[in-house]
């Protein structure tokens, strides 16, 4: 497959910049990483060698299959590794915007895949610590949705871009929670006629941002809506696939993302006992980002309860897991909870467990951050 894809980069119709992009993409798609996610080589070759021909139904199906495969790995693969693959795919999709659509091909279907791929690239960049890349891919997702004049896609693109302002990703410290709520509320408005999966995911994310602003009533209303809609979510209707893959996983029942959001929200609302039960249930082996969310949430509860040793131990576990999984935002979650030590009635700064943890935190970087 490597020989075939390398040969494809010599397309005489491609400019020098396009050729460089295709060579980079060919290497990324051919080195074996995607072999592990079971993408058919023939589909990859059709994607990489399409050129400037009209977009046909088979090509759209190939792109959707690849996007679904990458979306399904979102929770378990390293963010810094998966980002390169998803970004490459999003870039390939973006080239199709100005190409004619062949008779019988579904342009709306293609636009849904495009928005999903760009949203996933943005989330992976955000999780890997590159806010600039995240902002760029979220902006492209919104631009594609606006160009398509599709409210479901607008809702998805807006919803994902809200992470740039959410303080729930850093344990309630920093960020701009009211702005995140406004973006998610706008997304909910656009999604009012969308598929249940998109609406459930938006309600779940809105809930945690409402909790960050202290809106307990809004939080519980959004949680109830998300729970109801998650139970109604169909599998694979071809619309909003990334939003559904982001919030569902067939192997573990479909509520993992929602449970994590509820636990984070309860912790932000200082409902410690309920939050502890919820977050403990979301410690999922093999899902590092969910585990980090749960551990940092539990640590925040120990801060509220005045338990420095327990807080430091859970933050230490979360930090080690974040570094090992390339989850830069996991490191930021840890930093956010550590910053909350200053709200404790007694001075924790001189405690041996805190001094030891601070030394570890000062040296903490993810693999992607070390490369920058």
pLDDT digits (tens, 9 = 90+) for 228-254: 887 765 554 445 556 556 555 433 444
The confidence score (pLDDT) of residue 16 equals 44
Residue whose tokens read 């999966």: 197
- For residues 29 and 62, the answer to whether their CB atoms sit within 8 Å is no
Supply the pTM of this predicted model: 0.81
- The packing angle between helices 79-94 and 131-148, to 10°, is 30
pLDDT digits (tens, 9 = 90+) for 159-181: 999 999 998 777 666 789 999 99
The confidence score (pLDDT) of residue 314 equals 95
- For residues 201 and 257, the answer to whether their CB atoms sit within 8 Å is yes
Separation of alpha carbons 241 and 81, rounded Å: 21
Q: Which residues pair with 223 in a beta bridge?
A: none
* Average pLDDT of the residues of the chain: 81
The confidence score (pLDDT) of residue 39 equals 63
Residue 226's SS3 state is helix
In this structure, what are the phi and psi dihedrals at residue 101, rounded to the nearest 5 degrees?
-100, 125
The confidence score (pLDDT) of residue 324 equals 87
Contacts for 311 with CB less than 8 Å, ≥ 6 apart = 299, 300, 302, 303, 337, 341
The confidence score (pLDDT) of residue 235 equals 53
CA geometry: angle 337, 161, 293, nearest 5 deg: 30
pLDDT under 70: residue ranges of the chain: 1-39, 171-173, 232-257, 345, 365-372
């Amino acid at each position: 497959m490597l020989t075939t894809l390398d040969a494809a980069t010599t397309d005489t119709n491609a400019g020098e910049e396009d050729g460089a992009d295709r060579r980079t993409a060919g290497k990324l798609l051919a080195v074996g990483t995607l072999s592990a996610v079971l993408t058919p080589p023939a589909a990859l070759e059709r994607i990489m060698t399409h050129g400037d021909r009209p977009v046909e139904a088979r090509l759209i199906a190939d792109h959707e299959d690849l996007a679904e495969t990458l979306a399904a790995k979102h929770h378990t693969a390293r963010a810094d590794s998966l980002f390169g693959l998803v970004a490459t795919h999003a870039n390939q999709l973006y080239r199709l915007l100005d190409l004619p659509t062949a008779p019988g091909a579904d342009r709306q279907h293609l636009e849904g895949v495009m928005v999903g791929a760009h949203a996933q690239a943005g989330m992976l960049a955000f999780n890997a610590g590159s806010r600039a890349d995240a902002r760029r891919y979220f902006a492209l997702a919104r631009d594609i949705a606006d160009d398509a004049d599709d409210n479901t896609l607008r809702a998805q693109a807006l919803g994902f871009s809200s992470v740039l302002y959410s303080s729930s990703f850093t344990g309630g410290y920093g960020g701009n929670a009211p702005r995140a709520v406004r973006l998610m509320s706008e997304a909910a408005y656009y999604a009012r006629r969308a598929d249940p999966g998109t609406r459930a995911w938006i309600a779940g994310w809105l809930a945690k941002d409402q909790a960050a602003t202290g809106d307990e009533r809004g939080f519980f209303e959004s949680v109830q809506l998300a729970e109801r809609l998650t139970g109604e979510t169909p599998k694979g209707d071809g619309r909003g696939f990334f939003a559904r893959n982001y919030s569902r996983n067939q192997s573990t029942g479909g509520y993992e993302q929602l449970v994590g959001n509820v636990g984070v929200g309860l912790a932000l609302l200082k409902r410690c006992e309920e939050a502890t039960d919820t977050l403990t249930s979301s410690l999922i082996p093999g899902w590092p980002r969910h585990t980090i969310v749960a551990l940092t949430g539990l640590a925040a509860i120990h801060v509220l309860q005045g338990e420095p040793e327990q807080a430091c131990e859970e933050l230490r576990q979360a930090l080690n897991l974040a570094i090992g999984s390339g989850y830069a935002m996991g490191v930021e979650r840890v930093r956010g909870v550590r910053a909350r030590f200053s709200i404790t009635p007694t001075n924790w700064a001189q405690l041996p467990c805190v001094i030891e943890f601070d030394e570890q935190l000062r040296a903490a970087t993810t693999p992607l951050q070390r490369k920058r």
